[in-house]
Structure 1
């Protein structure tokens, strides 16, 4: 059986009005979801499995058509997110137009939230709900036997006009049992990041699920149960990547530091093996301390991403962040004193937020002096608590995400939280926020003194041109 797993183009991605300055450049993130499935199929089947990352390869639809014709896969698996749904549908139509008998399988957060709407998309044959490795394998092994498929948890398909939803598969508690993502099936050297000191880079998951209850969180398909890989398994993957020529890692866990002892064990294992790597993590300001920061630094953790979101205590309560501005100040100071760089995430246009609170957030970002900030206009994502709140209070006039899921149309624009601002006003404030942070002479001078290579200089220069070219 020939299986082609596709990361679709992003020509029609619903980015709304959130220009990315330090964010993910083209080819930045390897498509870990389909790479986990590819690795699982490669280990446990004899299928002919290929991965096509159209974004990293810069493959448009004309070229993609020729690739499908040359490969004629039996099954095409596609990652579907709500923000990429238009491109997903274009890929489906292209595949079916040149290879009608290919079975189309969609997975990802969108199908988890909107299974009924998604299975009705023309050309879609199956949906894989939640974590997909085992379900995808069992689906392909029984793809022509609908009776058996009804007994495989985690599937949605149609039979005689009826929708069959077999229910969610239990979350996998033994993440060490999963093969590593099949990075060798991708153009490894095309993955890079503005912030990285080395290329190529890769992303990694060392755990799944987040126990916190932020009202804006948009990753329901991984659950709220924190499940972690062992330190040995994590560093084994790092070592395998080093053998591929990868020496920089972004740990993509929602919160890497939930299990303090595991973090220490990961660091000790990196040190014991003398791995010459750099790595980033995502952490919360309230589950990290001086001693843990020192251990991370010893293992050459070079950057920590903190979700601050707002500089106003009341807005933080609405977002249910569970942190205080004083703790943010303390953690940022301690992180920088340890010699670890900091990336801070902020949002503007949150519920109840007026211009006063937005200006507090911008001032707070400059007070904290992180190495990078990533600022976005708050967008209520589907199935989140804050989206439900907006519908209940009438701030969000209609269930626009469900309507889009039922009728995906090009040109759709996600709604922001228009309680005190119009979209245009928030866009102007976003531009102001970026410019006021990144064009400070003190910031520019600091960044110039930290540049270590011509490649890093070029990436910084491109980002700087983005800032200066923003329209207010």
Structure 2
């Protein structure tokens, strides 16, 4: 059987509340979910597997249709995110136009949150819920008449007009038994990121799930129980990537620093094997200490992304962050001591947040003085506590996301928390926040002093000009 896994184009992406300058600079990450499934199928089946990442290959729909027709799959699996749902549906339509007998399977966070709505969409045959490696393999066994469909946990499909839900499949406990992502099936040399300075880069999951319960995050609703790979298994993957010429990594765990001993073991293993690599992590400030930072630096960590989100204790409690600004200041100082660059995340437009709260956040950003900040307006995403609370108390007046899941339209505008501010007011405030942080003489001088090449100077200067001339952005464009 011929199996095609597709990361659809991003031509009709629904942009939340991210500034366009950030979207333009984010580069491309490999579709690790698809690559894990591909590797699992290569190991456990004899099917012919192919992967198309239409985003990194910059395929339009005409080119994608030609590639699909050329491979002539029996079954096609599509990564499905809420914000790219329209592109997913267009891709599914192209697949069926190529051959109506090709089975179309959707997987990813969106279909986990909206399984019935997703299976009711045109050109969709099956939904795979949760982690897809085992369920997709079992579905292929069914198509080979080896397994009854009703016995496969983690599927949603239609039979005689009725929606059949076979129940959730437990998360995979032992992540070490999964083969490494099949990077050889995609043009891996095309993946770069802003943080990798233009070098070949890739993402790595050293764990799955998150033990924390921030109210703006959908992970708890997705059933993402925290599980971690062993240090040796993680570094085996890094070493394999290094042999492919990949030396820049972003550890894409929700929180890399959950378990200090495991972090230290990974660092020690990287040093032991003398891997010449650079890597960034995402961390919480309440899981980091000086000993960890010292070892991170020694092992090649060249950036830490901290989610601070707000500058007042009131809003931090609303978001259930369970951190303090004093903690943040202490950890930022320690991180700077070991010369590890800091990217800090902040949001405005949170529940109960006043104008004074927002300007306090802007002041705190400058006091913390990270190397970079990423600011956004809160988008109450489906599956988050904030979204459920908004529906319950009427601040979010209808179930926007469910309506979109049932009938995706390109003019959809994601909801915001409009308790105290209009969307335009929040846009104006966000522009003030960006300019207030980046257009400071002290910041500009610091960044000039950190430049390492003329090409980096040009890139940073271009981004700086975009911030300087920024007036307002509303989803897709800066106006």
**Partner residue, 1:157:** 157
* Structure 1, 426-435 or 136-145: larger mean CA deviation: 136-145
Kept in 2: contact 1:22–1:463 (CA 8 A): no
Report the Cα distance in structure 2 between the residues aligned to 1:205 and 1:89, rounded to whole angstroms: 27
Shift of 1:426: 0.8
Give the C-alpha shift of residue 13 in structure 1: 1.0
1:240-288 Cα shifts (integer Å, max 9, x gaps): 1101110011001011111110000000000000000001111100111
Report if aligned partners of 1:280, 1:302 keep a CA contact under 8 Å in 2: yes
CA contact 1:77–1:106 (8 Å) conserved in 2: yes
Out of 428-437 and 278-287, give the one that drifted further.
428-437
Partner of 1:233: 233
Match for residue 447 of structure 2? 447
Residue 391 of structure 2 corresponds to residue 391 of structure 1:
yes
8 A contact 1:198–1:247 mirrored in 2: no
Q: Distance in 1 between matches of 2:82 and 2:431?
A: 25
Matches of 1:299 and 1:445 in 2, distance apart? Answer: 29
Encode CA deviations 1:199-248: one digit per residue, 9 max, x unaligned: 11111100011111101112357534210000000000000110111001
- Note closer, same or farther for the CA distance 1:42–1:465 as it changes in structure 2 (3 Å cut): farther
Q: Deviations over 1:285-312 (max 9, x none)?
A: 0111011110111111111110000001
- Matched with 2:133 is 133
Q: Report if the CA contact (8 A) 2:315-2:350 is conserved.
A: yes
What is the Cα deviation at residue 449 of structure 1? 2.2
The 1-side partners of 2:385 and 2:202 are apart by 31
1:343-394 CA distance string (max 9 Å, x none): 1000010000111111111111111111111101001010111111111111
Runs of 4+ with >4 A deviation = 144-147
Q: Give the match for residue 260 of structure 1.
A: 260
Rounded Cα–Cα distance in structure 2 between residues aligned with 1:25 and 1:221: 30
Q: Higher mean Cα deviation, 114-123 or 400-409?
A: 400-409
The aligned residue for residue 99 of structure 1 is 99
Indicate conservation of the 8 Å contact 1:109/1:219, yes or no: no
Question: Hey, what's the Cα distance between the residues in 1 that align with 2:317 and 2:240?
Answer: 42
Distance 1:103 1:294 in 2: 51
How many residues get paired?
Answer: 472
Aligned partners of 1:143, 1:274: CA distance in 2, in Å?
Answer: 46
Structure 1 residues 2 and 458: alpha-carbon distance in aligned structure 2, compared to 1, 3 A threshold: farther
In 1: Cα distance, 2:142 partner to 2:24 partner: 38
* Alignment-derived partner of residue 75 in structure 1: 75
* 1:312 maps onto 2:312 in alignment: yes
**Cα RMSD, aligned residues only:** 1.6
After TM superposition, the score normalised by the length of structure 1 is 0.97
**Residues 22 and 372, structure 1, Cα contact 8 Å, conserved in 2:** no
The residue correspondences of 1:89-238 to structure 2 (distance < 5 A) are 89-143=89-143, 145=145, 148-197=148-197, 199-220=199-220, 223-238=223-238
Q: 1:127 to 1:398 in 2, by over 3 A?
A: same
Report matched runs for 1:396-407 at 5 Å. 396-407=396-407
Deviation at residue 452 of structure 1 after TM alignment = 2.0
Which position in structure 1 is the counterpart of 2:327?
327
Match of 1:243 in 2: 243
Q: TM-score, normalised by structure 2?
A: 0.95
Counterpart of 2:476 in structure 1 is none
Unmatched 5+ stretches in structure 2: 473-479
Q: d(CA) in 2 for partners of 1:456 and 1:53?
A: 28
Distance 1:146-1:12 versus aligned 2 partners, 3 A rule: farther
Query: Structure 1 residue 48: deviation in Å?
Result: 1.3
Given the superposition, is the C-alpha separation of residues 207 and 371 from structure 1 closer, same or farther in structure 2, using an over 3 Å criterion? same
CA distance in 1, matches of 2:131, 2:173: 11
CA distance in 2, matches of 1:144, 1:465: 57
Tell me which residue corresponds to 2:456: 456
Contact residue 222 and residue 383 of structure 2 kept, 8 A: no
Question: For 2:184 and 2:221, how far apart are their aligned partners in 1?
Answer: 26
Residue 3 of structure 1, CA deviation: 1.2
Counterparts of 2:222 and 2:42, CA distance in 1? 23
Structure-1 residue corresponding to 2:477: none
2:369 paired with 1:366: no
Query: Structure 1: how far apart are the matches of 2:275 and 2:224?
Result: 32
- The DSSP-based 3-state class of the residue aligned with 1:56 is coil
SS in 2 for 1:57: coil
Distance 1:24 1:133, change over 3 A: farther
Q: Tell me the equivalent position of 2:88.
A: 88
Instruction: After TM superposition, list the pairs within 5 Å mapping 1:278-293 onto structure 2.
Output: 278-293=278-293
CA contact (8 A) 2:86 2:410 kept: yes
Distance in 2, Cα, partners of 1:316 & 1:253: 22
2: CA distance, partners of 1:41 / 1:328: 43
